[in-house]
Amino acid sequence: MGPELIVLSLGALHWLISLRMFAALRACGRDRESGAALLEKLSIIIPARNEAHHLPRLLDSLRSQTAAPLEVLVVDDDSTDGTAEVAAAHGATVIQSSPLPAGWRGKSWACEQGAARARGELLMFLDADCWFESGGLEAVLARYPGGAFSVAPYHRVEKPYEELSAFFNLIMIAATVPVNLLGQCLLIRREDYQLGGGHASVKDKILENVCLANKLREAGVRTSSTTGKGTLAFRMYPDGLPSLIAGWTKGFAAGAAATPRSTLILISTWISGLILGLFGCLITPWALLIYLAFAVQLAAMLRRIGNFSSLTALFYPLPLFFYIAVFVRSLGGAGKTVKWKGREVNAG
């Protein structure tokens, strides 16, 4: 067998195996007749540290839904930018966080306080940089299967540098959906939340969603997740390339360590195929077929998770090598301590 056939055969095998990743990115879960019945039981808890620029979009999206939840709580985590005033002006109930106790992460502490003050039987923890599409809140509730349920927001890209998040977001979702939990939007019954120990059980973890999922499953609580296209959206790291690098570096290595081995093998196989499509051209021009096949597959994947440009898929080596560079960076000292929202985050 000549080198051309070896390259083409390996590339085809990797491409076919990677279809499992594509399948994982579909929306999961069956809709109820309506999610409206759950709204009167729902407390939305938004941990917020210096989120004055994000909160209006989220809170306005909640106010524009067809019906309102029982309450919307914003836990102001020692912000310095007017977060509390903005939240109150947009109709939320503001909870001023108590000082951060030793051994706690800021987000987990804010979530724990919000849950303690919430009146609803159903709790939704929601990041401030998310927002709901029209009818999106009811659609998420209609898909809720019980237990702990998270939604991966649809990634809205507005600036060219944000295209560099393509592989980060894609791999994050592929490693999570449909059985693990994401941190941007978590829906859970209060009794299940308490059964798993709440955020107190993961108070010192930088990837609190991953660790909380494990705690909940140990307590017998079902965990599940789905993609959020058409229901929930977000824009990641709009403050520039440095914040994007710092954000993805934070806890990157810990996230890889928490990913199931079978999923890591699948992701590694896919990335190997992408690299083969690129460097195989040094062996045979026929490898261009492999490159284009992976570019088309990547474009289809990205369409399910965000409005990424088709050029990002066509010229995928640029975001791919950026992903690898940040991953390698996270393995060193840069991945252990990161400055994030005015706090030094130690991920070690």
Give the residue with greater pLDDT, 338 vs 48: 48
pLDDT tens-digit readout, 262-301: 888 999 999 999 999 999 988 899 999 999 999 999 999 9
Looking at residue 340, its pLDDT comes to 53
Rg from Cα positions in the chain: 21
* 178 upstream amide cis, omega within 30 of 0: yes
- Show the domains of the chain with their CATH numbers: 3-24+256-334 (no CATH), 36-239 (3.90.550.10)
Looking at residue 330, its pLDDT comes to 82
Question: How do the residues of the chain divide into helix, strand and coil, expressed in percent and rounded to 5?
Answer: 50, 15, 35
Judge residue 95's burial from the number of C-beta atoms within 10 Å of its C-beta, 0-12 exposed, 13-18 middle, 19 or more buried: buried
DSSP-H helix ranges across the chain: 3-24, 36-39, 55-63, 83-89, 106-117, 136-143, 166-174, 190-195, 208-218, 241-249, 252-258, 261-279, 287-305, 310-314, 317-331
pLDDT tens-digit readout, 181-237: 999 999 999 999 999 999 999 999 888 999 999 999 999 999 999 999 999 999 988
Pairing of strands 130-132, 343-346: unpaired
Looking at residue 3, its pLDDT comes to 80
Looking at residue 327, its pLDDT comes to 87
pLDDT tens-digit readout, 64-92: 998 999 999 999 999 999 999 999 999 99
160: left (phi over 0), alpha (psi -120 to 50) or beta: alpha
pLDDT tens-digit readout, 121-144: 999 999 999 999 999 999 999 999
Per-residue b or e along 247-278, where b marks 16 or more CB atoms closer than 10 Å to that residue's CB = bbbbbbbbbeebbeeebeebbebbbebbbbbb
Query: Whole-number mean pLDDT of the chain?
Result: 91
Give the residue with greater pLDDT, 178 vs 206: 178
Distance CA 187, CA 84 (A): 24
Q: Does the pTM exceed 0.75?
A: yes
Q: What is the DSSP secondary structure assignment for residue 228, as one 8-state letter?
A: -
Looking at residue 255, its pLDDT comes to 62
Judge residue 182's burial from the number of C-beta atoms within 10 Å of its C-beta, 0-12 exposed, 13-18 middle, 19 or more buried: buried
